[in-house]
Amino acid sequence: MQRIVIVGGGAGGLELATQLGRKLGKKNKAEILLIDANPTHLWKPLLHEVATGALDSGIDELNYRAHGKKHGFQFQIGRMSGLNREDKSVVLSAMLDDSGEEVLPQRTVSYDTLVIALGSVTNDFGTAGAADHCIFLDSRLQAERFHKLLLNEFLRCSNADEPRPLEVAIVGAGATGVELSAELYNTAEIMAAYGLKNVSPEQLKVRLIEAGTRILPALPPRLSAAAKRELEALGVEVLTDTKVTEVTNKGFINDAGETITAAIRVWAAGVKAPEFMATLGLETNRANQLVVNASLQTEDESIFALGDCCSVIDKATGKPVPPRAQAAHQQSSHLVNALSARHKGKDMPEFVYKDKGSLVSLSRYSTVGSLMGNLTKGSMMIEGRLARLVYVSLYRLHQVALHGYWHTLLLSVVGHINKVIRPRLKLH
């Protein structure tokens, strides 16, 4: 029986494993194996909510092993560290516990077809001090680390004799940086409502630092400007045309030699594929992404890639497909059909990217974005409640791909119930 191995349980990888499990695994037409370094999955666009406490990851995360049992694929925990193309095997590094004791030894996993879906990590562009003094939001563990630091800073403020500002600086005014900035003010409001002394939105000083001329460059200028006005109304200081050259334990130093002070420093500018991707012997670009053809196939006909870790040219624009969740979703749907056709010895279809637009949530305050494609027969800019409704639906579509409509409806109902019976913020 053919074995299809998928490395990476992000949005694209998990959706692919789920769909192939239903289509091939359950019918014993192929063995589907998903590998990930973590035991659970959390939709990456939600990490800024985990960081601020607006979302409890323990409730929304999905267990790979249990999900695989239900949907016809197997799961193995492990972190990919190498590739042997001659033997057609993936190398997994040894797994250690918190005390450094070995839990699982280094292993190899054989494959007939390999799909690499390892996503991306934040690119600090080699900026001095960034790795040592900044928090990145690439994983649930990093988001939870930010959450603990934020709660501790709020406690320090509450214990001060007089009100003092809590300074947070964020480099990168893309979706992550903008959404995190707004969500922080929502957190401060709730903390104040819960009675924490000397804590209020007025005491929170968030600076959003962007090297470009405007925030949210993926959105039309009008919506970018609207988002900037919303952020400034909340109290965010937006610093555009500001390049960071160094990071210290005090803050960010810009190219003018000025220090932008911050107790909490976040780097959310730029993405790249994991560094070891460039060591696999496959063609990569400067961002370590695997270069793939129109069928999402690497130079090795047995190896495919999808999501942020691959680079595929959009024929409509002649440019690489942007690293977005919607691209990973579309690529996983494409590979379900392509790998099924390949399994039957048929020609694989070519991937065609359809840009559905971009949406950015400013917490409960507002949502802005643009819709494109068949839904609008062109491009339409949306704001406010309609934009918020569409934004929430993106996560629901991800859930539908994993669980189906009925299960997703139940999850939605449970989510609304939790809003009533649980605290508005995770306080621990």
Q: ∠ CA(189), CA(191), CA(193), 5° rounding?
A: 70
Instruction: Tell the burial category of 414 from Cβ atoms under 10 Å away from its Cβ (0-12, 13-18, 19+).
Output: exposed
Contacts of 301 (CB under 8 A, 6+ apart): none
The residue with greater pLDDT, 426 or 389, is 426
Residue 385: band (very low, low, confident or very high) from pLDDT cuts 50, 70, 90: low
Q: Is 319 helix (H, G, I), strand (E, B) or coil?
A: strand
Q: Write the pLDDT tens digit of every residue in 295-344.
A: 999 999 999 999 999 999 998 889 999 988 889 999 999 999 999 888 88
* Predicted structure pTM score: 0.92
Of 425, 399, 426, 398, nearest in space to 414 by CA: 399
Name the class of domain 3-120+273-343: alpha beta
Q: Strand 357-362 and strand 366-373: pairing? A: antiparallel
Whether 375 shows a pLDDT value over 50: the answer reads: no
How confident is the model over 180-192, as a mean pLDDT? 94
Q: Is 66 helix (H, G, I), strand (E, B) or coil?
A: helix
For the chain, domain boundaries:
3-120+273-343, 130-267, 357-421
The residue with greater pLDDT, 57 or 113, is 113
Considering Cα of 323, then 126, then 128, then 8, what sign does the dihedral take? positive
Diameter over CA atoms, the chain:
73
Residue 223: band (very low, low, confident or very high) from pLDDT cuts 50, 70, 90: confident
How much is the pLDDT for 373?
47
Q: What is the mean pLDDT of the chain?
A: 91
Fold entry, domain 130-267: FAD/NAD(P)-binding domain (3.50.50)
Instruction: Express the helix, strand and coil content of the chain in percent, nearest 5 each.
Output: 35, 25, 40
Complete DSSP assignment for 221-258? HHHHHHHHHHHHHHT-EEE-S--EEEE-SSEEEETTS-
Instruction: Report the distance separating Cα 271 and Cα 14, nearest Å.
Output: 20
Among 60-74, 293-307, 353-367, which stretch is predicted with the lowest mean pLDDT?
353-367
- Does 3-120+273-343 match 130-267 in CATH topology? yes
How much is the pLDDT for 382?
66
* Residues facing 109 on adjacent strands: 90
Whether 125 shows a pLDDT value over 90: the answer reads: yes
Alpha helices in 238-383 (DSSP H): 325-343
Q: Residue 106 is which amino acid?
A: Q
HSE-up of 86 (CA within 13 Å, CB side)? 0
